[in-house]
Amino acid sequence: MSASQLDQLKQFTTVVADTGDFESMKDYQPQDATTNPSLILQAAGQDEYRHLVEKAVDELKDAPADGRVEAIIDRILILFGIEILKIVPGRVSTETDARLSFDTEGTIAKARQLIEGYEKEGISRDRILIKIASTWEGIRAAEALEKEGIHCNLTLLFSFAQAVACAEAGVQLISPFVGRIYDWYKAETGKEYEGADDPGVQSVRSIYTYYKKFGYQTEVMGASFRNAGQITALAGCDLLTISPKLLEELQNSSDDLERALSPDAAKDADVEKISYDEKGFRLALNEDAMATEKTAEGIRKFAADIVKLEELVESML
């Protein structure tokens, strides 16, 4: 029997699990894992992960009331990260509070706190990616953090301008959101998109090509997939972060998978180098209605889930 599509994909792309569910990570053996407030909230509501939330609450229930809930949530994120790192051989992405998305100094401070929390547990900062929204302020925070050896995953990325600014800032990794781009265009046009015609796929392909053409070291990790076709159309991308449902679908298919992206092909691409200062970045982002709307919506949704997590913690105190 020929190899599964998942095994074929692993030949040229680093597969990352997009989940807070440890069992599915064990099943599909990804290299890395990513979490976000929504995934942690989902997992925290399940009986098998409740003990991690209870542990964080128990450890910090006597902390000063001012800042206690925030400290407990940081601890929950770290406890999940520690468990994930027992399963995956690579890195885990841990997200900063989405409400800091327009606060450069606040983001830097939160990232340092999270890294310190991991290092106290004996986990090297090389195994952690701090997830930050791809706002101008978030990108500036990541630029400063990278200089301290705190590596960042710039998330909620929907536009070429965001990707260029991240590369110029020297961030470790970006997560362009394929599925959410697709959602926007599907809602806007009423059309279904497949494979290379998918606007989300096209977005990642153009970013990947640009990075490889100009020798940027920033890793490209396609994220937020709606179907397996989006994943196979990006085979060869540096990394792809995939939900358990789609990992299972790839595992169960033995169709041939061809590499769609490669550094060699990108080097011959006819693209021009561009650069953004703050004004240029804000204008370019504003000109892209999809990216503007989706970045804002993503920040709101993650912020809402952090609030729900806070309410869960408060109910347990």
Residue numbers annotated as active site: 131
- Measured between alpha carbons, how far is residue 294 from residues 7, 39, 95, 135, 214 in Å? 32, 18, 18, 12, 27
Q: SS3 helix, strand, coil % of the chain, rounded to 5?
A: 60, 10, 30
Q: How many helices (H) and strands (E) does the chain have?
A: 15, 8
In whole angstroms, give the CA distance from residue 17 to residue 20. Answer: 9
Asked whether the beta carbons of 7 and 66 are under 8 A apart, the reply is no
Q: What is the pairing mode between strands 239-242 and 173-176?
A: unpaired
φ/ψ of 123, rounded to 5, equals -100, 125
Task: Please state the separation of Cα 165 from the chain's center in Å.
Answer: 17
Q: Is 169 helix (H, G, I), strand (E, B) or coil?
A: coil
